[in-house]
Chain A
Amino acid sequence: MNLTADLRAIQEEVEGYAREFGLDFFETIFELVDCDELNGIAAYGGFPTRYPHWRFGMEFDSLQKSYAYGLSKIYELVINNDPCYAYLMKSNATMDQKMVMAHVYGHCDFFKNNMCFSKTNRKMMDQMANHGSRIRRYMEQHGVENVERFVDVCLSIDNLIDQHGEFIARSNQSYQPKSDSPSEGVRRLRSKDYMESFINPPEFIEAEKARLTAVAQEERHFPREPYRDVLLFLIEHAPLARWQRDILSMLREEAYYFAPQGQTKIMNEGWASYWHSTIMTKRALRDSEVVDYADHHSGTVHARPGQINPYKVGIELFRDIEDRWNKGKFGREFEDCDDLETKRNWNRDLGLGREKIFEVRRIYNDITFIDEFLTEEFAEQQQLFVFQFNPRTGRHEIADRDWQRVKRELLFGLTNFGQPIISVVDANHANRGELYLRHQWEGIDIQFDWAVETLRNLHQVWTRPVHIETKEEGKGRLLSFDGEKGSIQEITPAD
């Protein structure tokens, strides 16, 4: 921690308020950095050390540029680690620092307590540095270009993870064959000779034989059921060199580390904004700072017409929940009441709001959060709408204000981080060791030119032809890459 004396005092003050309100966080270490350093750290996803890769340089370049042209400025950066590290921009005014600190304590509390983060590595700072030195070592051993090219390949597929994967207890036990395994043959009931054709009728025996052969076929199928964690599958089964396997598993680990942040964007920012707002307005704000605070707070939570601002939706939803549980606006009795006036003025003085939002921050993620708490009243009050591209005018236009549709649209965008859901269905496609993936098509096509390029990269890992089954406007398509060129075929999907 390199805070100046006055910032140190502010930090202690704000931390005191945060604890007083019941926030529960890891020790939080603030670092004061200038904008170059901050942009550097931001380009590294919040970490001071990562493995060497040009992508970070590209990110840094664009951050530097947009900062230089005054298009964007990073206020706050905090990483999920124990202790939590947070960065403050040197050039910010004291009021900003205070607000950022309050915001950061919200994030830290969320990291520590939200269920999605429970499996993340809390020593990621060290782990990232380890990954850095391991990859640097591989670069020395196998050449910068080689390793870099492989890292490119890994990054191109590192979204093929199962966001719930960390919660699956994978068994490493050897496979126990089922009792009706074909090796044992068709079981016949015991019978006297003359009863044989009645007790074990030949047709039944035939049918049973056919069934067992099918089961045997099925068992030879690998993987036995669609496998969402494509990266893990590749780590375990692709013919990779040791260093490659190591790099792939490091990058998979990093992808899983960052995944919960994608799963809880709205909640996380909403929670932090709720707390900076509460701490500032109830405790920390001085009279002289009110105007600046109002300005910056509204800048953070302003609503944009063309997209959802997670800060805004998050904070409003938390406030709405708090209000509803304070007044008892929930449960059967409230739902069943159809008198609007009574509903509006419903107040049972339960005062359960605070307790409820703490519970919500513990066990929900963005999807369940929106699904459970976005009500008709909320959608109306927040003026939410669905927009759609209108080919006639060539513009995006407001299409609907129906809250059910808004909710459906929001949930769709959040499912699997707004990424296509892809699993491995067959690792021995056409009995030629080819990898066959399936995209679970839900109305939106994947971008084919990108997909073929991605297959090209995947081919470098799998080394045999790779395919992905998907749909284009509802019609089956098979995209393949055979080692030399990509192709797109029409197919009839199995289901």
Chain B
Amino acid sequence: MVKKIEKDLRRFRQIVRGKIKKDLKKYITQGEMLGRKGKNIVSIPVPQINLPRFRFGSNRRSGVGQGEGEVGNPVDTEQGEGTGQAGETPGQHVLEVDVSLEELAEILGEELELPNIQPRGKKQFVSSAGRYTGIRRAGPESLRHFKRTYRQAIKRQIAMGLYDPSNPVVIPIREDKRFRGWTARQLPESNAVIMYMMDVSGSMGREQKEIVRIESFWIDTWLRHQYKNIETIYVVHDAAAKEVNQHTFYHLRESGGTKISSAYELCTRIVEERYPPDQWNIYPFHFSDGDNWSGRDTDRCVEIIKTRLLPAVNQFSYGQVKSAYGSGQFKKDLDQVFSDEEFVVTSEILDRDGILPSIKDFLSKGR
């Protein structure tokens, strides 16, 4: 039987989920969740889940305490609650709720009506996983099954006439011990790698990078929800490309020209060296403001995508973030060449409000 409190807990989670879903767009555009990420959870401020009441406000600033101290000594450990701003603006009653990334991805999927991804056929990788399925009479102490061992011991003692109900002492001997036993199972599993490429040339400002950051957080969340084993690669480029770690990816600011083909070049090399396409689902995402150095380089990019990337990847995605200086030519060029190529998806992100539709552009194909 499900305990009653579990039902209430489920209802509470449902309400929280509903609130998050309702405000998803706001959360996404404000990038609120990024700073609140733990390993597997995000803590989200959910407004107005508390029941409003008539109650005293924050100008109640005195109370009684107990202990040592002179007049003027502080009694709070840190500059906590009550410092100024509290209660000034409406909608202050905020509750922090922990939501797992898994759940967040589901919410995102429901809201954007994203289809589940079909991993590419035949490219599945078989891994073995152990599972505890039975009981054995031999095994390591750490796997001893406490209950079964004692049950066995009590059975034996009763059978031998050694059990005294008024003094129920049960002592297992070696023959009583039972251990958990496992069997290895072959599990099909799909691997995926996400490759983020970003233009860090002078024209990509702070706001543009922030948009890329938010968008890749959500793409990441969704793909992680779809694949168990996922890796991420970060590539930045201006006139030359290099592979960097996550922190650098978002914080680096270079200047200089833009040669997009350098990034595609590097990306192709990484795939060829590390991620054989028959074992990996590969997702390259490229973000730039649409300025390329020259038309010749754009031709070169098209060439790389056509001949080397497309045969290997699930989908090639290009997101163009609007900036004050960018011409936006690159997207036009790609669209022209790949107008009937369904594995190339391009999307334009004008501002923060464009993040959500753009995520939908990229992920709604279910590849």
Q: List chain B residues, Cβ under 8 A from A388.
A: 61-62
Q: List chain A residues, Cβ under 8 A from B49.
A: 58
Complex contact B10–A304 (CB within 8 A): no
> Is A207 an interface position by the 8 A CB rule?
no
Binds A, one of B29-37, B63-71, B103-111, B354-362: B63-71
Complex contact A394–B83 (CB within 8 A): yes
Complex contact B61–A389 (CB within 8 A): yes
> Is B147 an interface position by the 8 A CB rule?
no
Q: List chain A residues, Cβ under 8 A from B90.
A: 449
Report A154 CB to chain B, min CB distance, Å: 10
Q: Is the interface of A mostly helix, strand, loop or mixed?
A: mixed
Q: List chain A residues, Cβ under 8 A from B10.
A: 57
Q: How far is the CA of A418 from the CA of B83 in the complex (A)?
A: 21
Question: What is the 8 Å Cβ interface bit string for chain A, positions 39-69, against chain B (1 contact, 0 not)?
Answer: 0100110000110111111101100010000
> Is A453 an interface position by the 8 A CB rule?
yes
Q: List chain A residues, Cβ under 8 A from B133.
A: none
A54 with B57, Cβ < 8 A, contacts A40-B3, A410-B64 known? no
Q: How far is the CA of A445 from the CA of B71 in the complex (A)?
A: 26
Determine which of A54, A155, A304, A446 lies in contact with B11 in the assembled complex, contact meaning CB atoms within 8 Å: A54
Q: List chain A residues, Cβ under 8 A from B51.
A: 55, 152, 155-156
> Is A447 an interface position by the 8 A CB rule?
yes
Report A70 CB to chain B, min CB distance, Å: 17
Q: How far is the CA of A65 from the CA of B12 in the complex (A)?
A: 15
Determine which of A50, A389, A418, A468 lies in contact with B56 in the assembled complex, contact meaning CB atoms within 8 Å: A418
Complex contact B59–A444 (CB within 8 A): yes
Complex contact A383–B5 (CB within 8 A): no
Binds A, one of B72-80, B203-211, B242-250, B254-262: B72-80
A386 with B63, Cβ < 8 A, contacts A396-B74, A397-B74 known? yes
Complex contact B66–A396 (CB within 8 A): no
Complex contact B9–A398 (CB within 8 A): no
Determine which of A303, A413, A451 lies in contact with B54 in the assembled complex, contact meaning CB atoms within 8 Å: A451
Complex contact A57–B13 (CB within 8 A): yes
Question: What is the 8 Å Cβ interface bit string for chain A, positions 148-175, against chain B (1 contact, 0 not)?
Answer: 0000100111011000000000000000
Q: List chain B residues, Cβ under 8 A from A382.
A: 66
> Is B4 an interface position by the 8 A CB rule?
yes
Size bracket of the B interface: 35 or more
> Is A224 an interface position by the 8 A CB rule?
no
Q: How far is the CA of A445 from the CA of B3 in the complex (A)?
A: 42
Q: List chain B residues, Cβ under 8 A from A58.
A: 12, 49
Complex contact B66–A383 (CB within 8 A): yes
Complex contact B53–A159 (CB within 8 A): yes
Q: List chain A residues, Cβ under 8 A from B53.
A: 156-157, 159, 450, 454
Which residues between 379 and 402 of chain A lie within 8 Å of chain B, taking CB atoms?
382-389, 391, 393-401
Complex contact B55–A399 (CB within 8 A): no
Q: List chain A residues, Cβ under 8 A from B74.
A: 393, 395-398
Q: List chain B residues, Cβ under 8 A from A308.
A: 63-66
23 sample A-B contacts, Cβ–Cβ < 8 Å, listed by A number = A43-B8, A52-B4, A53-B8, A57-B11, A61-B12, A306-B76, A307-B63, A308-B65, A312-B66, A383-B68, A385-B66, A386-B64, A389-B82, A396-B61, A398-B69, A401-B71, A420-B54, A439-B54, A446-B54, A446-B55, A446-B56, A456-B52, A468-B54
- With contacts A53-B8, A397-B75, A419-B54 known, what are 17 further pairs, Cβ within 8 A? A57-B5, A57-B9, A57-B10, A58-B12, A304-B67, A307-B64, A384-B65, A387-B62, A389-B61, A395-B75, A396-B76, A396-B82, A398-B65, A445-B56, A447-B57, A450-B52, A450-B93
Interchain residue pairs A-B with the least CB separation, the first 9: A389-B61, A57-B12, A453-B52, A57-B8, A447-B57, A57-B9, A40-B5, A54-B12, A303-B66
